[in-house]
Structure 1
Amino acid sequence: LCVLLGTVDHLTAQINELDRLIAQTLEEITTPHDGPAGTGTEPATDGVTARALAERLDAVPGIGPATAQIILAEIGTDMSRFPTPNHLVSWAKLCPRTIQSGAKNRAGPAGQGNPWLKGALGEAANAAARTDTFLGARYRRIVKRRGHAKALVAVARSILVIAWHLINDPSASYQELGTDWHQRHLNSARRTRDLVRQLQALGHQVTLEPTTA
């Protein structure tokens, strides 16, 4: 028993030392002093520490402190090598591939990608899927027609896009859109588009004008 307790104490001390080193490293690493990637603008503030970025990522549903640290460790704090969120998503292999065979196209597997990043995003997506948030609603909307695995990949992709914006823009912070965002935005836009197409098919010319207050 004494041997086991000694082993536990030794491992606990090692974990505490690693936590200290991680916290120290996060304080030492800062983002570049340029503006958001691809904008060509001058910085409004000095570089943000990786610790501040980790705290910002921690506000995203599904992401905890450890997951935030893994995300930063794998993609870094400099988003200039990923000009857009789509570049980062493609690099992480979270974009479904299209396989062409003759005249037919079918969806293929996204690919392996970075196993540490995909593992962390998978855990974050699984946790976010159980929340009453925009990401949770996104999972429940997709799982009905695409299944559990593809719904989780879609949520993981959304989380990575959010992470890109939070890291890329020093002034950005996570804003919860709400569970009814798709209902308020996508559904109404789709309904409008379908009605316009129906009227055009009947030979009508449709002009959309915003409603006046």
Structure 2
Amino acid sequence: RNPHRSNEQQLILHRALNKVMGVDLTAIPTIGIDTALVLASELGADLSRFPTSQHFCSWLGLAPPTRISGGKPLPGKTVKVINRAAQALKQAASIARNDKSFIGASHRARLTRMDTCCAIKATAHQLARLIYAMLTKGQPYVEKGMEEFEERSRDRQLRALERKARKLGLQLVKAA
């Protein structure tokens, strides 16, 4: 939020963005009006030039590298993409650490298993996929909440434990 703008100016900008883009990008947690303005100016509302969200994320420079073998990057130069929209999404992703939403919870989970710059890039990639879906399908963003993330995480951990138990010839039993 720009401290030099009044609430009335923020509201006018918000309405204009919704009209131009066709959807409310600020409904996504961590994306404010300033970020949405950058995205609107760089992308526009028509993303038909990108056949899939993977193409869109690759153009932004947020797609994971494909030159990986055995979990390690292969030697060679990576293509550096400097893009204002990607920079805005990375900035929005870095704010996600303190956000009490599904995106914030998934970002904090990423921070536990990877370094900060990779986690920010991965969260920006998640935001880019959401934006692509919103702009191409015209559907509003629906917040899932931290409870949804924690439930998915619990289910994933339970499935992993069941796989490990089967591999060891054991069977899990729920405690009463």
Give the TM-score, by structure 2 length. Answer: 0.73
Alpha carbons of 1:111 and 1:140: their partners in 2 closer, same or farther (altered >3 Å)? farther
Match of 2:166 among 188, 199, 205: 199
Q: CA deviation at 1:187?
A: 3.4
In 1, are the aligned partners of 2:47 and 2:136 still within 8 Å (CA)?
A: yes
Summarize the Cα distance change of 1:145–1:104 in structure 2 as closer, same or farther, 3 Å threshold: closer
Helix, strand or coil at the partner of 1:179: helix
1:62 equivalent in alignment to 2:30: yes
One of 118, 135, 139 as aligned partner of 2:107 = 139
For residue 32 of structure 1, what is the aligned residue in structure 2?
A: none
Higher-Rg member (1/2):
1
- Gaps (5+ residues) in structure 2? 172-176
- Match for residue 106 of structure 1? 72
Report the count of equivalent residues.
157
Q: 2:152 aligns with which of 185, 189, 192?
A: 185
Deviations 1:4-47 (A, max 9, x none): xxxxxxxx9xx9xxx9xxx6xx68xxxxxxxxxxxxxxxxxxxx
What is the match of residue 174 of structure 1? Answer: 141
Highest relative contact order (Cα 8 Å, sep 6+), 1 or 2?
A: 2
Measured at CA, do residues 145 and 51 of structure 1 come closer, stay the same or move farther in structure 2, by a change above 3 Å? closer
Which residue of structure 2 aligns with residue 123 of structure 1? 91
Corresponding residue number in structure 2 for 1:85:
53
Change in Cα spacing, 1:66 to 1:110, as seen in structure 2 (3 Å) is farther
Matches of 2:147 and 2:111, distance apart in 1: 16
Post-superposition Cα deviations, 1:124-162, rounded to whole Å, max 9, x if no partner, equal: 112222211111111111111202111111111111111
Deviations 1:57-109 (A, max 9, x none): 01111111121121122222122222222221121111221435xx7552378
Aligned-pair RMSD on alpha carbons?
A: 3.1
Cα distance in 2 for partners of 1:96, 1:110 equals: 11
CA distance in 1 between partners of 2:78 and 2:20 (Å): 29
CA distance in structure 2 between the aligned counterparts of 1:124 and 1:173, rounded to whole angstroms:
19
Paired with 1:115 and 1:178, the residues of 2 have a C-alpha distance of 30
TM-score by length of 1: 0.62
- Contact residue 96 and residue 110 of structure 1 kept, 8 A: no
Partner of 2:117: 149
